[in-house]
Amino acid sequence: MIIVMQPGSTEEQRRDVIREIEALEYKAHVIYGVERTVVACVGHEDKTPLEHLRSMPGVEQAIPILKPFKLASLETSPERTEIDLGDGVTIGGRRLTLIAGPGAVESEEQVHAAARAVKAGGAQILRATVFQPGENPYMFQGLREDGLRLLSEAARSNGLKTLTEVASIRDLDICLEYADVLMLGARNCANFPLLQEIGQVRKPVALKRGMAIKLSEYLQAAEHVLAGGNYELILCERGIRTFEDATRFTLDLNAVPALRAQTHLPVIVDPSHGTGDRRLVGPMAKAAVACGADGLMLEAHPDPQNAELDGPQSLAPNEFEALVAELRKVAAAVDREIV
Ligand code: PEP
Ligand code: MN
pLDDT one digit per residue (tens) for the chain, 339 residues = 888 999 989 999 999 999 999 999 987 878 777 777 888 787 677 778 888 999 999 999 988 866 778 789 887 777 899 999 999 999 999 999 999 999 999 999 999 999 999 999 999 999 999 997 778 888 888 999 999 999 999 999 999 999 999 999 999 999 999 999 999 999 999 999 999 999 999 999 999 999 999 999 999 999 999 989 899 999 999 999 999 999 999 999 999 999 999 999 999 999 999 999 999 999 999 999 999 999 999 999 999 999 999 999 999 999 999 999 999 999 999 999 998
Ligand 1 atom closest to the CA of 184, numbered from 1: 8
Q: Are 306 and 110 in contact (CB under 8 A)?
A: no
Q: Is 129 in the pocket of ligand 1 (CB under 6 A)?
A: yes
Q: The pTM is what?
A: 0.84
Amino acid at residue number 275:
T
**Torsion angle (degrees, nearest 10) of CA 79, 85, 87, 88:** -30
**Torsion angle (degrees, nearest 10) of CA 92, 94, 99, 100:** 160
DSSP 7-38: TT--HHHHHHHHHHHHHTT-EEEEEE-SS-EE
Q: How far is the CA of 208 from the centre of ligand 1 (A)?
A: 8
Q: Taking the CB of residue 197, how many other CB atoms lie within 10 A of it?
A: 18
Polymer length of the chain? 339
Q: Is 103 in the pocket of ligand 1 (CB under 6 A)?
A: yes
Ligand 1 atom closest to the CA of 309, numbered from 1: 3
Angle at 263 between CA 260 and CA 334, to 5 degrees: 25
What is each CA distance from 319 to 123, 236, 278, 282, 330, in whole angstroms? Answer: 13, 22, 9, 9, 17
Residue 196, classified by CB atoms within 10 Å of its CB into exposed (0-12), middle (13-18) or buried (19+), is middle
**Torsion angle (degrees, nearest 10) of CA 95, 229, 237, 314:** 70
Least Cα distance to 172 among 141, 210, 201, 147 occurs for: 201
Which residue among 139, 208, 240, 281 is best mutated to probe the pocket of ligand 1, counting the most ligand atoms within 8 A of its Cβ? 208
Ligand approaching nearest to the C-alpha of 301: 2
Q: Are 196 and 229 in contact (CB under 8 A)?
A: no
Ligand 1 atom closest to the CA of 128, numbered from 1: 3
Distance CA 110, CA 295 (A): 24
Strands across the sheet containing 37-42: 27-32, 37-42, 2-5, 59-63
* H-state helical runs in the chain: 11-23, 108-121, 144-157, 172-178, 192-200, 215-227, 255-260, 271-275, 278-290, 317-333
